[in-house]
Amino acid sequence: MDTSNSLKSDFSVTGKSRVRRAAKRASYRREDIYRLVDELKLGHIGFTQDGEVIVIPMTVWRHGDFLYFHVPNKSRLQKLLESGQQVCISFARYDEWVLAKSAYHHSANYRSVVLFCRGERVQNPKEFDTVFASIIEDIEPGRWSQVRTPSVQERKGTALMRLTIEEGSFKSRRGAPSDNKEDLDLPVWSGTKPACPFS
C-alpha cells in the first residue's frame, strides 16, 4: 500500500477508542494500525440502520492515510456515509492458540484493530483509478497495466468510498500461556500452536 503522507502521528484517543481491558497490549500508533490493515484487507464494517445494528465484512484497503471500499452506487452504506454517519471497522487475526495447563488460562495470540471513520464518495476520476490500481497492484504487481480498466458504465454503477479515520486502536497478544504457579507441575502439555496451520 502507498505510504505517502502516512505515519504522521498517533491517533487521538477518546473514551470511545481507548482500550480498557489489558490496556498494556494497546497501541494508538498509525504504524501498528496500518500494518494490520494492509496485511488483512478484510474489515467488518459496523453501523446502525433504523435502530438495528448491522456488521458487514468488506474488502477494505488503505491508500495514504485513507481507507477505501467500493459498493454498488446508491447502496445503503454509501447513503449512510454521505449522510455523515460514523461507521466502526474492525480487523482481526488469530495467529496462535495459547494452550495453558488450566482451562481458564487458554487464550490466543492475536492482532486486532478497531477504527471509527466517516466517509464520502470519490468523485475525481484520477483518484478513482489510482485507488483501484493500488489494491490490484498490491495483490499482484504489474497487473493494473495488463487488465481492462473500468468502463464508463462500471464507473457509474460503482461508488468508491473514501474513509477518514477519526480515531482508533491496535491491540495484540503475544507469548506463552500465563499459567498459575501452582499449575506448572500438572502433567499436561502447554504452549502455542498455529491458529490456522494452512494459512
Total domain count, the chain: 1
Domain membership of residue 163 (yes or no) is: yes
Domain membership of residue 4 (yes or no) is: no
pLDDT at 24: 87
Distances in Å between the Cα of 49 and the Cα atoms of 54, 55, 81, 86, 116 are 7, 11, 12, 12, 17
Calculate Rg over the CA atoms of the chain. Answer: 20
CATH number at residue 79: 2.30.110.10
Specify the pTM.
0.86
**Cα first-last separation, the chain:** 21
Domain membership of residue 157 (yes or no) is: yes
pLDDT at 172: 95
Give kind and range of the element (H or E) at residue 143.
none
List Cβ neighbours of 94 (8 Å cut-off, separation of 6 or more). 108, 109, 110, 195, 196
Q: Say if residues 76 and 85 touch (Cβ distance below 8 Å).
A: no
Provide the domain limits for residue 114.
23-173
Domain membership of residue 64 (yes or no) is: yes
Domain membership of residue 113 (yes or no) is: yes
Domain membership of residue 186 (yes or no) is: no
Q: Which residues of the chain have pLDDT under 70?
A: 1-9, 197-199
Domain membership of residue 188 (yes or no) is: no
| Average pLDDT value over all residues in the chain | 91
Domain membership of residue 122 (yes or no) is: yes
Give the model confidence (pLDDT) of 124-164 as tens digits. 999 999 999 999 999 999 999 999 999 999 999 999 999 99
The number of helix segments (H) and strand segments (E) in the chain equals 4, 9
pLDDT at 4: 43
